[in-house]
Amino acid sequence: MGTPIGNLDDMVPRAIEVLQSVHFIAAEDTRRAGQLLQHFSISTPTLAYHDHNEASASELLIERILKGQSVALISDAGMPLISDPGYSLVRLARKKAIEVLVVPGPCAAILALCASGLPTDQFGFYGFPPAKTAARKNWYSELSARTETLVFYESPHRIVGSLMDAADSMGSDRPASLARELTKKFETWYCGSLEEVRHRIESEDHAQKGEFVLVIAGSEEQPAEDSEIERLMKILVPEMGVKKAAASVAEILGAKKNLCYQIGLELREGLRGDAE
């Protein structure tokens, strides 16, 4: 279940009810959970569930659940499983046909995406970029041709390096939004090109402190394969119609038939230029 990522007023009433009513709470850090529980006067016992004991703790929790006990899983902040432990427990519970319900709460990635001003119809969440520069540059390069909006978590001591590597790999003018300290007193947004965002973060006092979500616009360049499909479909659609043309082009290029068909439809509807 979700818990606040900074502002305790974001705790939803159902989360409080569930935490009060379960037999125990599996928490990433029992001390941090203690502070949250104390704030809401919840006295349910806690049990440690973190990266280092995820597998064994999941087995233990499942055993307890099978004996009739109920458990709520929380992480330090936000939604568990999103760059946080929990996946093995949920997977195991599903495998054993144990009921899993979700109590929603804030998730930094989704909040940042929604207020970024960048397209939200398609997006990818990639968690934390690699810590070392060479690996990180490589990683951003591999993502640079993706057309959906890209969402990353980043730590305060790596944010400048990460912005530099992203700009090197994706182009310094690629639009981005950097969200700092979401839902907290010093929530700040840095929007502009990757270069502009880095410049502000480097030059403003305290800007490199706190928690960050980096949202980067997807590439506007068409993948090479798409343009080749489009070129052939433009020739073949007027001759044989979308369906047959898609089958032929898929065979010639070894491309997906669905993709060729989709491009053919867009050409016919004038969304990609003229098919005649």
Is residue 154 a contact point for ligand SAM (CB under 6 A)? yes
Is residue 216 a contact point for ligand SAM (CB under 6 A)? no
Strands 175-180 and 123-125, by their bridges, are: unpaired
Is residue 75 a contact point for ligand SAM (CB under 6 A)? yes
Question: What DSSP string describes 89-110?
Answer: HHHHHHHTT----------HHH
CA 199 to chain centre: 25
Cβ of residue 49: shortest distance to ligand SAM, in angstroms?
A: 13
Is residue 77 a contact point for ligand SAM (CB under 6 A)? yes
Is residue 183 a contact point for ligand SAM (CB under 6 A)? yes
If binding means CB under 6 A, how many residues of this protein chain bind ligand SAM? 23
- 84, 167, 197, 232: which one binds ligand SAM (CB under 6 A): 84
Phi-psi category of residue 111: left, alpha or beta, with phi > 0 → left and psi -120 to 50 → alpha: alpha
> Comparing C-alpha atoms, which of 269, 271, 242 is closest to residue 258?
242
Task: Name the residue nearer to ligand SAM (CB basis): 103 or 232.
Answer: 103
- 20, 30, 83, 208: which one binds ligand SAM (CB under 6 A): 83
Is residue 212 a contact point for ligand SAM (CB under 6 A)? yes
Is residue 182 a contact point for ligand SAM (CB under 6 A)? yes
- 15, 58, 71, 78: which one binds ligand SAM (CB under 6 A): 78
Residues in a beta bridge with 215: 151, 177
CA torsion 159-162-164-168 (nearest 10°) is -160
- 37, 72, 107, 216: which one binds ligand SAM (CB under 6 A): 107
Task: Name the residue nearer to ligand SAM (CB basis): 48 or 247.
Answer: 48
> Comparing C-alpha atoms, which of 14, 1, 3, 71 is closest to residue 36?
3
Helix 54-66 to helix 87-95 angle, to the nearest 10 degrees? 40
Cβ of residue 106: shortest distance to ligand SAM, in angstroms?
A: 7
Task: Name the residue nearer to ligand SAM (CB basis): 113 or 255.
Answer: 113
Phi-psi category of residue 60: left, alpha or beta, with phi > 0 → left and psi -120 to 50 → alpha: alpha
Applying CB under 6 A, the span of 142-150, 161-169, 210-218, 233-241 interacting with ligand SAM comes to 210-218
What type of residue sits at position 43? S
Is residue 175 a contact point for ligand SAM (CB under 6 A)? no
Q: Which helix (H) or strand (E) holds 53?
A: none
Distance set, CA 11 to CA 5, 84, 135 (Å) = 9, 18, 37
Is residue 213 a contact point for ligand SAM (CB under 6 A)? yes
Q: Are 152 and 127 in contact (CB under 8 A)?
A: yes
- 12, 47, 82, 92: which one binds ligand SAM (CB under 6 A): 82
Is residue 242 a contact point for ligand SAM (CB under 6 A)? no
Applying CB under 6 A, the span of 11-19, 166-174, 178-186, 265-273 interacting with ligand SAM comes to 178-186
* Interface residue list for ligand SAM (CB under 6 A): 5-6, 75, 77-79, 82-84, 107-109, 153-155, 179, 181-184, 211-213
